[in-house]
Amino acid sequence: MKRSLKAKLILLLAVSLISILLLSGCGKSYDATLRVYNWGDYMDKSIITDFEKEYNIKVIYSTFTTNEDMYVSLKSGGSTYDVVFPSEYMVKRMINEDMLHKINMDNIPNFKYIDDRFKNPPWDPNNEYSVPYFWGTLGIVYNKTMVDDPVDSWEILWNEKYERQILMLDSQRDSIGLTLQMLGYSMNTRNLDELEEAKQKLIEQKPLVLAYVGDEVKDKMVGGEAALAVVWSGEAVAMKWENPDLEYVIPKEGGNLWFDCAVIPKSSKNKEAAELFINYLCDPEIAYRNADYIGYSTPNTETMKMLDEELLNDIAAYPSDEDIANAEVFDDVSDALEIYDRIWTEIKAK
């Protein structure tokens, strides 16, 4: 008796849930659908709703965690997307592997607002395949009350004074890249000896490192649990805002300059709608709302004019040309990917 009552209750619950959900699932009809694939929490979703209303195009929005996840999902086939937001080195790889449509720039009039500094980038020399979405740098964030040495170089991450107070990024390209740069090599090296040297250096550093982290870095630094951390600039802006003791530096070795771009994969079934959407995102007003929500740096010159003076002068958010003069941009290293993978596994296993 006891059990069957439970069963009935559960059944009732299930039926009512289904009916509620089915009812709420109904909606109006749209002219077309657009499938967007983006990083998690990387767009103000009210923009999508407005886009749907304005153009009567339904947007199906999905998210991914890393460039590599996204690449596998596209490469394995069976799912189609119209607009995707990979980082620069992944854009290059996708261009090389003929995975992208050329964008018809006549359909993206708002492209004129994109800062000239970011046009015709090395990964897409004629700007045929990609439109910049957000950009930033890789640097060090440190707690002024806990670090008394000047922070201006990656070398501080190897300073034994800060044993177990250093947070490294749990990201293969970034962590190996910064070590290579400190050693005076290119972040994009394919040279085995240079990579082995970087590996040794990182293994040497391991006793000093508190943890290899992902997004927890924000909580830990804001809470004062560590003195130094390697972070992406956009995160640094949010962290500084929350804890004024934190400061962000682009190391003198150059640091890394990164870009996330909008591209149209070959599997797209609705290229016109995709171009419409990319153009919409480049609209200064829309780009402002987006930048305000995410807190990363926009490549849109008109949008920058709407931003706070304070934010524009923040080196973490909008570094000057000088600050990023030596910064390196990641190149596609797919031919040396195996070495990178092996080295990274060896470092993490130690």
Binding site for another protein (CB under 8 A): 1-7, 9-10, 13-14, 17-18, 21, 24-25, 35, 37, 39-42, 45-46, 48-49, 60-66, 76-81, 214-215, 218-219, 222-223, 234-235, 238, 242-243, 294
Residue 172 or residue 189: which is nearer to another protein going by CB?
172
Residue 63 or residue 200: which is nearer to another protein going by CB?
63
- 59, 107 contact by CB (below 8 A): no
CA angle 80, 48, 120 (to 5 degrees): 70
Closest separation in Å from C-beta 206 to another protein: 23
* Residue 262 to residues 58, 72, 127, 179, 282, Cα–Cα distance (Å): 18, 18, 11, 29, 10
Q: 257 CB contacts (<8 Å, ≥6 apart)? A: 135, 136, 137, 324, 327, 328, 329
Closest separation in Å from C-beta 39 to another protein: 6
Closest separation in Å from C-beta 128 to another protein: 25
Residue 18 or residue 312: which is nearer to another protein going by CB?
18
Residue 210 or residue 339: which is nearer to another protein going by CB?
210
Helical (H) or strand (E) element with 216: helix 216-222
d(CA 141, CA 314): 13
d(CA 306, CA 286): 11
In this structure, the chain runs to a length of: 350
Closest separation in Å from C-beta 30 to another protein: 13
Residue 273 or residue 339: which is nearer to another protein going by CB?
273
Q: Is 247 exposed, middle or buried (0-12, 13-18, 19+ CB in 10 A)?
A: middle
Tokens representing 15 are: 């039926």
Closest separation in Å from C-beta 68 to another protein: 12
Closest separation in Å from C-beta 147 to another protein: 20
Residue 167 or residue 195: which is nearer to another protein going by CB?
167
